[in-house]
Copies of this chain bind each other. A is one copy, B any other.
Amino acid sequence: MKINRALALTLAAASVGASAQSSVTLFGVVDANMRYVKNSGLPSNISMNNSGLSSGRLGFRGVEDLGGGLKAGFWLESDVNADTGTMNANGKLFARRSTVSLMGNFGEVRLGRDLTPASAHTYKYDPFGVIGVAGANVTSRIVSVAPTSATYYRVDNMVQYFTPNFGGLQAELAFAPDENAANNTGRHAAARIAYENGPVSVSVSYGTTNVNAASDKFKQLGLGVAYNFGVARLLAFYQRDDLPFGTYGGVVAGAEDKLLIGVTVPVGAHQIRASYVRTDSRKGSSAFNGSDANKYAIGYVHNLSVRTALYGTATRVSNKGGANFSLSGGAPGLAAGGSSTGMEVGIKHSF
């Protein structure tokens, strides 16, 4: 059980930058926390969870300078669930990203499994990053309904094109073939335009995924805005996820709008973060239509270094109508219209 001798890799400040020479980088995040959840009318429960501040991961990435402004790169990134030692539920070794790229003055062409721009706002403009007890994904039916082989955040078989950055303006196009000769179920296309300059960040995205042989589409429209006032950074996103009303994998789902308003406040080297999320089920049956929710969250991040932080987060979900969104780790069986309250305290370490 002992290691006689070990290979130590020297730590360097280098990261893969715009003008980087050829390099290969090993990187990762290990994040674990203790979570308390109380669902109304049910006993409370304590559990260990992972990825409360940053998604657990282990990755290998590299860039090769081909000369003449041309570069090639790869990125292989696995999930790391520190609480149980698993990678993820879908059995993919490199579920977070597995891509190969060609980059140059023309921008970047990237092939493989990756995040789709269609859902980008839901984590880019959420102070809690769609992870942990307070992520905006908690009060969303759509996220847990993979409307084909694609998941909500990541898509297999994508060809992506990223334009160069024009003074803060950048666009991205993504296409994934359906890999289905009988019909086009699973075909995914998405685009996003973003402007980032100093304190300003504005972004808009649109995406579609064919959900059946009749070419009915899951349509996603996203808007994100952030402004850094110095004393605080305000963030907001609006995401309209238009899934044809129906039953997907046993879950009744349909069109759903999410609105988030958030803020991050620097406190010395540390940070306070807070958010309000409103989930609005639209169309479909009247029961579905009235099943909405509000979520409130506040958290504190205590940075021990650039790589390591302690954090604490508290959140409350208030359901309306037939909705019974609840925090994971709580007792099952929350009644419609009930509330779910949770807290977690944890440590994040990146390398």
- Say yes or no: A82 contacts B66, CB within 8 Å: no
Chain B residues within 8 Å of A308, by CB: 64, 66, 72
Which of A15, A46, A74, A85 has the most chain B CB atoms inside 10 A of its CB? A85
Taking CB as reference atom, which chain B residue is nearest A333? B181
Taking CB as reference atom, which chain B residue is nearest A86? B92
* A346 in the interface (beta carbon within 8 A): yes
- Say yes or no: B9 contacts A182, CB within 8 Å: no
A residues with a Cβ closer than 8 A to B are 1-16, 22-34, 42-48, 50, 54-55, 58, 60, 62, 64, 66-67, 70, 72-74, 76, 78, 80-87, 91-100, 102, 111-113, 123-124, 129, 156-159, 176-177, 179-182, 304-308, 310, 329-332, 346-351
- Say yes or no: A111 contacts B85, CB within 8 Å: no
Copies of the polypeptide in the assembly? 3
Query: Separation in Å of the A87 CB from the closest CB of chain B?
Result: 4
Given contacts A4-B306, A76-B80, A91-B86, contact A64 B349 (CB under 8 A): yes
- Say yes or no: B32 contacts A82, CB within 8 Å: no
- Say yes or no: B72 contacts A85, CB within 8 Å: no
Query: Separation in Å of the A238 CB from the closest CB of chain B?
Result: 20
Chain B residues within 8 Å of A1, by CB: 54-55, 123-124, 129
Per the bound structure, the CA–CA distance linking A28 and B75 in Å amounts to 11
- Say yes or no: A32 contacts B111, CB within 8 Å: yes
Query: Separation in Å of the A177 CB from the closest CB of chain B?
Result: 5
Per the bound structure, the CA–CA distance linking A81 and B25 in Å amounts to 20
Chain B residues within 8 Å of A3, by CB: 15, 27, 29, 350
Per the bound structure, the CA–CA distance linking A286 and B330 in Å amounts to 43
Which of A6, A48, A102 has the most chain B CB atoms inside 10 A of its CB? A6
Per the bound structure, the CA–CA distance linking A99 and B85 in Å amounts to 8
Given contacts A58-B76, A85-B94, A181-B332, contact A25 B6 (CB under 8 A): yes
Query: Can you pick out 7 interface pairs between chain A and chain B where the beta carbons lie within 8 Å of each other?
Result: A31-B100, A32-B112, A48-B158, A48-B179, A82-B100, A84-B113, A111-B347
